[in-house]
Structure 1
Amino acid sequence: MQQGPEGGSKHMYMEVSRQIGRMAAKGARVLEFRCVVSELYIALRTILIASVTSLRCRLQKRMLTKLLNALDAAAELSTTDRLDEVIHNMVEVGKSIGSNSSVEELLAQQNLLVRMLKKMNRLLEEEEACKASCALCSIEFLERIARYVPSSTVPIWKHMKASIINFLAWSDSRVSEHACWLVTTIIDGDWVKQWSENSLEKKKFWKNFFALLQADSLQAQRLLEEMFTFPGSVTLLFSVTDDFNVESTVAKHLCCAIRHKQLNNSNLFPLVSYFSEMVCVLKDNSENESFLCTLRRLVKAFCLATSDDQSPYFSVRNNFALTIGAVDLLRQIDELAKSGIEIYKRKRDFDNGINGGNVNPASGLKQCLVRLIANLTCEHHGNCDLARKLGAVPILLESTKLDCCNLFMTQWAIFALRSMMKEDSGCRDIISSMKPTSDVRLD
């Protein structure tokens, strides 16, 4: 019969002891004696470690069993005393995880942990039946498990993710924000990929997370900042929702991430594709305030990315799809203004209400767009040539008209035209061949 580690060590110990006895009887030399004693020490140490490990496993199993019983009782009738018992047992089990036990010992209790998480989720699904202190303790408990259990351990992580979704849905901001903190501590690139899957569980997570984000939850904002640091996160964030209010909020934080250089560089090029899609559907959403706000913030994000030649995002200027989208959008805005839609008229591009609040949903869109074209064409012959061929010059010339509503647009338009004339002879030919058609006047 094959012996376990503890039994094998005892056998080794007995064999070494007999050898010491024989050597002592024969009067063995000191060096040989020391070698055998060293072997004896190793055997004793192995026995001790195996015994302690076995004891810890039994103790951990006993504590988990007590926690399971407490969860059963609380789920049946969630009185204060029973919830306090759950908290007490959870704290005791939590202390034993990581501080005294190895990952192997923890995984040895995998079945018990899975059962415990199932029961905990059942208890926490009803916010009214539980209390915040129990939920907060559960979040700390999950964080400790997540720290020591590999993400490849599917059964445990499956139930932990279900717990996170439950916590995010709580109306108590202490619990929902603490749940965002938990996700921030465990998130990684693989986690982001996993949550792109189109399932009911994932949809519920994103719905709850975006609700917190729009409610200006500080922890939700920090989680979003952390997401921006991973490849593919921007594509994911804009693909999991079709609500322009949510997309506008994400775009606002995207601008901050670019300004502080927190955005993973690989995210910017997929963002160009999303921007191009938005430009294509402008006519269908020409008076949708949330859509226009999202579009303006995206343009602003590209302005920030292309303003500094030392920026890690400066290479996005080489993506000609961005130039095509920017000029196409400028042309559409010009056509919408000429068609009589009030919010696109030049005088309203800088329209502010009380305390600087924008009354016009398209406020600043054209100004940001002219600035973006100026950034894209600055010392970039390819973009200058492309912008001229797409018909940007006449619209930019129109934007140089001086008025008191938007001096910044005039400055950016002049800057863009100067860059294009410097880099592109075709642009110089167009402008030199033009003749004034009316008297110059101030609006």
Structure 2
Amino acid sequence: MAAPMEQMTAARVALDRWVREELEAGKPRGEDGVRRVTELFRQAEYREVADEKIFTLILQILSRAQQEIQTQIAVSEPSAGPWFDLSAECFRCLRNASAQCLPNQDTIRNIGLIEKAITLIGVFITSNTSQESCLVAFRCSLQFLGNVAGGNRDSQNSIWKRAFPHLFLSCLSHDDDKVFAYGSMVLYTCMDEDKIADLLEPANLPLALGVVSAYSTRSDAEWLHLIVTDRFLRCPELVKQMYASHSHADRITLLELILSKVNEKTPLTETELTSLREIAEFLSDCFQKQCRAVLKLAAPGDCEEEEASVVIRLLDLLCEMTSDADHLSCLQCCPGLLDTVVDTLRLTHLAGKQSKNVFTSTHSASLGSDLTHVAVGFKAHLIRLIANLCYKNRENQDKIFHLDGIPLILDSCSIDDNNPFLNQWAIYAIRNLTEFNDKNQELIASMERQGLADTSLLKSMGLHVEERDGKLLLKSVKKT
């Protein structure tokens, strides 16, 4: 360890001499001394022997750089470039020094370097300069904040106190992809459950909304994806506020992010499950309130699709959630959900019969080939949701009987290019509706006898009707 200590001491002495002889004279050139320390800090053994004196020198350099940049910007001097370059090298040095090194992170925070960095970032943001050197310094400062916050709760709190929400909002709206990415990384690193509560304040909600809006234009932004799925979804109240405040387009983005969390292969914690169940109940309520908007799609002259698209995405998400045992039971008990789904199926089925539109069963090239239409698969998903809600649930099975849902499902089951897999979902629905339910079995058997149920459809379900002792029974076809 002697060699690293000797080299660090020599580098500090050289840097101290440069600060006293050159920097104090207002000469920003010669950041080689800082660069030498930057290179040493790339290796863990040098980070481990750093002392406070070298960080005090870096603070002194950044303070002088801030003073010179602000002075030159104030008089519209174009010569701030060397000071931006020097600032960038200082932040590279701090970035390396704080990488997975808790003692250095604490020292850097305790002497005020986090505060100085955020102050300088404010200067970079408001400088209105197009100099590349300013942009590079901005990027390096954000990388430093990300490293000094890594695994260090005190540093995270310090950054949050000084940067929330203005700095994060500036990064989310910045044109530079690296500033955007690094700012998002710092936001994710510093945000824990306690800090999510800060977003519930009306003045701070724009930051949460900004995350989703930014993701809608940069869907490859992995940090934003994690902010929503690993942070926001732990707070159902925040999700509710965001949904209520978003545009239709951003609501769709939010729902897609929730869907990605539901479809994750990794097991969820009990906290995550509890939060997602509350969110599922909220989304059920949203679907019930908005579902009729989808009927606007039956009118050819109505080009307003955004609200209908939200309803369709809500339905997709409810289908996925009810396919998962973790969320199924809470949705099976949601008041009014099953009634609304049956009612919506009835209305869309009727709309398709009254005129030729996207809800009309078709084999034609004009409608059937347009598989990009937002309503494609909507009826099939309604039946899928009915099937899921009735899975091993006698109360919901009986409710479908009283809502005349079984004849509606069977009547909806014609081959339809606009609803891929409709028959398969209908088969699954009938299976779930008749499992250990004699009353529903008897209803379908009587419909077949009266010619009201398609015999071929029953056969495709592996069912047939037989008469025994004057009663009609729905039986499984025995395989030979």
- Name the CA distance, whole Å, in 1 between partners of 2:62 and 2:364: 62
- Name the CA distance, whole Å, in 1 between partners of 2:328 and 2:364: 27
Change over 3 Å in CA distance of 1:142–1:251 after alignment to 2: same
Q: For residues 5-404 of structure 1, what are the structure 2 equivalents within 5 Å?
A: 56-57=51-52, 59-75=54-70, 76-77=72-73, 79-95=80-96, 97=98, 99=101, 101=103, 105-106=107-108, 108-110=110-112, 113-114=114-115, 116-125=117-126, 128-129=129-130, 131=132, 132-147=135-150, 148=152, 150=154, 153=157, 157-159=161-163, 161-199=165-203, 201-204=204-207, 206-207=209-210, 209-219=212-222, 220-227=224-231, 230-232=234-236, 235-236=239-240, 238-239=242-243, 241-261=245-265, 264-266=272-274, 267-284=276-293, 286-287=296-297, 288-307=304-323, 311-321=325-335, 322-338=337-353, 340=355, 342-347=357-362, 351=367, 358=372, 360-403=373-416
Larger CA deviation: 116-125 vs 337-346? 337-346
- Name the CA distance, whole Å, in 1 between partners of 2:364 and 2:338: 21
Runs of 5+ unmatched residues, structure 2: 1-49, 298-303, 458-480
SS in 2 for 1:150: helix
Change over 3 Å in CA distance of 1:340–1:238 after alignment to 2: farther
- Name the CA distance, whole Å, in 1 between partners of 2:166 and 2:198: 14
Q: Quote the offset at 1:127 in angstroms.
A: 6.2
- Name the CA distance, whole Å, in 2 between partners of 1:330 and 1:153: 51
- Name the CA distance, whole Å, in 2 between partners of 1:202 and 1:300: 27
- Name the CA distance, whole Å, in 1 between partners of 2:416 and 2:164: 59
Q: Is the 8 A contact 2:118 2:162 kept in 1?
A: no
Give the counterpart letter for 1:302 in structure 2: L
What percentage of aligned pairs have identical amino acids? 18
- Name the CA distance, whole Å, in 2 between partners of 1:409 and 1:441: 15
SS in 2 for 1:320: coil
- Name the CA distance, whole Å, in 1 between partners of 2:286 and 2:418: 30
- Name the CA distance, whole Å, in 1 between partners of 2:363 and 2:194: 46
Q: Is the 8 A contact 1:330 1:366 kept in 2?
A: yes
1:173-232 Cα deviation digits (max 9, x unpaired): 222123223333333323333223221x44155225423333323323344343366353
Normalised TM-score (structure 1)? 0.72
Give the counterpart letter for 2:358 in structure 1: I
Decide which of 433, 440, 443 is 1:420's aligned counterpart: 433
Q: Is the 8 A contact 2:252 2:309 kept in 1?
A: yes
Q: Quote the offset at 1:146 in angstroms.
A: 2.5
Q: Quote the offset at 1:116 in angstroms.
A: 4.5
Q: Is the 8 A contact 1:117 1:159 kept in 2?
A: yes
SS in 2 for 1:312: helix
Give the counterpart letter for 1:414 in structure 2: I
- Name the CA distance, whole Å, in 2 between partners of 1:142 and 1:87: 13
Partner of 1:21: none
- Name the CA distance, whole Å, in 2 between partners of 1:326 and 1:339: 20
Q: Is the 8 A contact 1:375 1:416 kept in 2?
A: yes
Runs of 5+ unmatched residues, structure 1: 1-54
Change over 3 Å in CA distance of 1:233–1:227 after alignment to 2: farther
Q: Quote the offset at 1:59 in angstroms.
A: 4.8
- Name the CA distance, whole Å, in 1 between partners of 2:364 and 2:197: 39
1:384-440 Cα deviation digits (max 9, x unpaired): 122333342232121123456546212212321232133434434544554346999
Change over 3 Å in CA distance of 1:277–1:124 after alignment to 2: same
- Name the CA distance, whole Å, in 1 between partners of 2:165 and 2:435: 57
Q: Aligned residue pairs: how many?
A: 381
Normalised TM-score (structure 2)? 0.67
- Name the CA distance, whole Å, in 2 between partners of 1:203 and 1:107: 28
Give the counterpart letter for 2:55 in structure 1: Q
- Name the CA distance, whole Å, in 1 between partners of 2:312 and 2:409: 18
Change over 3 Å in CA distance of 1:162–1:328 after alignment to 2: same
Give the counterpart letter for 1:315 in structure 2: S
Change over 3 Å in CA distance of 1:391–1:179 after alignment to 2: farther
Q: Quote the offset at 1:261 in angstroms.
A: 3.9
- Name the CA distance, whole Å, in 1 between partners of 2:279 and 2:161: 30
Give the counterpart letter for 1:307 in structure 2: S
- Name the CA distance, whole Å, in 1 between partners of 2:155 and 2:194: 9
1:7-65 Cα deviation digits (max 9, x unpaired): xxxxxxxxxxxxxxxxxxxxxxxxxxxxxxxxxxxxxxxxxxxxxxxx95565344323
- Name the CA distance, whole Å, in 1 between partners of 2:160 and 2:354: 60
Q: Quote the offset at 1:352 in angstroms.
A: 5.8
Q: Quote the offset at 1:82 in angstroms.
A: 1.8
Q: Quote the offset at 1:67 in angstroms.
A: 0.9
Partner of 2:473: none
Change over 3 Å in CA distance of 1:349–1:283 after alignment to 2: farther
- Name the CA distance, whole Å, in 2 between partners of 1:133 and 1:440: 72
Q: Is the 8 A contact 1:168 1:205 kept in 2?
A: no
SS in 1 for 2:326: coil
Q: Is the 8 A contact 2:52 2:107 kept in 1?
A: yes
- Name the CA distance, whole Å, in 2 between partners of 1:272 and 1:230: 15
Q: Quote the offset at 1:367 in angstroms.
A: 0.8
